[in-house]
């Protein structure tokens, strides 16, 4: 197996790398919008895993992974809309999107 | 492994890295678009045409635009004093590296079993021959969505409606003091 990377392993490794990049971005950036970008990258890495395992899985004709990824894309779009609305409202309230500066629960 | 896969993987990972590392927030949003495009091309490379074009429509067409609007509405493109990274950035990097180590170890350790599940009667060298592209048409996806998966489809429809109304209500400017 060493030196021989099959397509499925390659896709899974790329997805793991993108997930880790998104996690690093979500944990280290100060801007709330950049944290949301990191979360979007993590969701996309999960979608890549679903599609890759659907493609190289035992029963691709059942479409399970593909349908799961399509629903995941729809839910991620809803999450992005609500999250960015929340960021805009927090900015209006606290006058900043710096997460290190927003440290009070009671406005 | 084909050359196209390596090119798309490098494009996707470079876009993701730029999206989390660049200083200007608008540049980050544009790099995020590149990462989304790379992922969509990877989906197309995996013979998932419908998911690939849905990715382009939803992510590049809607989510990236939403991110840019949010950046402009919050004046987020100005680089704050004290750098763009949090005070606890070292912990974040360490956590992400640990997660990648665990994920990578899990994938590499389970490689023989994954291969066995994918191609039971074929060797590793003939994966393309052992895994012919599944002939999936949009009609089949539509029939699956309207038949077997109709309940999740309805729930997603309700979820999208609720999210739309909720996002508008959350972001709506309330002037209760003025009343």
Residue A106 lies in a domain: no
Mean pLDDT of all residues in A40-44: 94
CATH of the domain at A51: 1.10.287.3510
Q: What interface predicted TM-score (ipTM) does this complex get? A: 0.89
Residue A16 lies in a domain: yes
Q: Closest CB to A84: pick one of B5, B70, B83.
A: B70
Residue A11's pLDDT band (cuts 50, 70, 90)? very high
The distance of A31 to chain B (nearest Cα, Å) reads: 7
Residue A8's pLDDT band (cuts 50, 70, 90)? confident
* Domain residue limits at B95: 88-134
Please state, in angstroms and as integers, the Cα–Cα distance from residue B2 to each residue in B10, B46, B127, B167, following that order.
13, 12, 12, 43
- B-chain CB neighbours of A60 within 8 Å are 134, 136
Residue A66 lies in a domain: yes
How many structural domains are present in chain A? 1
Same domain, residue pair B45 and B99: no
For residues A77 and B160, is the Cβ–Cβ distance under 8 A?
yes
Residue A43 lies in a domain: yes
Residue A2 lies in a domain: no
Mean pLDDT of all residues in B127-149: 77
Of B176 and B47, which is predicted with more confidence?
A: B47
Angstrom distance (rounded) from CA B57 to CA B72: 22
**Digit-coded pLDDT (tens) for B49-93:** 899 999 999 999 999 999 999 998 887 666 666 677 877 888 999
Same domain, residue pair B26 and B69: yes
Same domain, residue pair B33 and B71: yes
Same domain, residue pair B11 and B60: yes
Give, as one character, the DSSP assignment of residue A29: B
Same domain, residue pair B156 and B99: no
* Domain residue limits at A72: 7-94
Q: Which residue of A has its CA nearest to B171?
A: A85
Q: Which residue of A has its CA nearest to B129?
A: A56
Paired with A29 in beta bridges are B85
Residue A52 lies in a domain: yes
């Amino acid at each position: 197996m060493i030196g021989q990377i099959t397509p499925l392993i390659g896709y899974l490794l790329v997805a793991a790398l993108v997930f880790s990049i998104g996690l690093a971005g979500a944990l280290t950036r100060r801007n709330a919008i950049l944290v949301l970008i990191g979360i979007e990258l993590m969701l996309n890495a999960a979608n890549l895993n679903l599609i890759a395992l659907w493609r190289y899985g035992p029963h691709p004709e059942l479409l399970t992974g593909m349908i799961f990824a399509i629903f995941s894309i729809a839910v991620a779009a809803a999450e992005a809309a609500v999250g960015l609305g929340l960021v805009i409202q927090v900015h209006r309230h606290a006058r900043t999107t710096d997460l290190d500066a927003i440290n009070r629960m009671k406005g | 492994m084909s050359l196209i896969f390596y090119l798309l993987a490098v494009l996707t990972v470079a876009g993701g890295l730029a999206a989390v590392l660049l200083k200007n927030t608008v540049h980050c949003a544009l790099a995020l678009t590149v990462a989304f495009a790379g992922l969509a091309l990877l989906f197309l490379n995996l013979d998932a045409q419908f998911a690939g074009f849905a990715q382009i429509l939803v992510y590049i067409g809607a989510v990236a635009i939403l991110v840019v609007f949010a950046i402009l509405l919050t004046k987020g493109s100005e680089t704050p004093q004290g750098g763009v990274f949090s005070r606890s950035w070292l912990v974040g990097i360490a956590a992400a590296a640990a997660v990648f180590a665990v994920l990578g170890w899990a994938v590499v350790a389970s490689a023989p079993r994954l291969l066995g599940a994918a191609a039971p009667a074929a060797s590793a060298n003939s994966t393309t021959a052992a895994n012919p592209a599944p002939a999936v048409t949009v009609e089949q996806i539509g029939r699956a969505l309207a038949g077997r998966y109709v309940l999740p489809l309805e729930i997603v429809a309700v979820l999208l409606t609720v999210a739309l109304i909720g996002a508008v209500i959350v972001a709506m400017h309330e002037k209760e003091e003025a009343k």
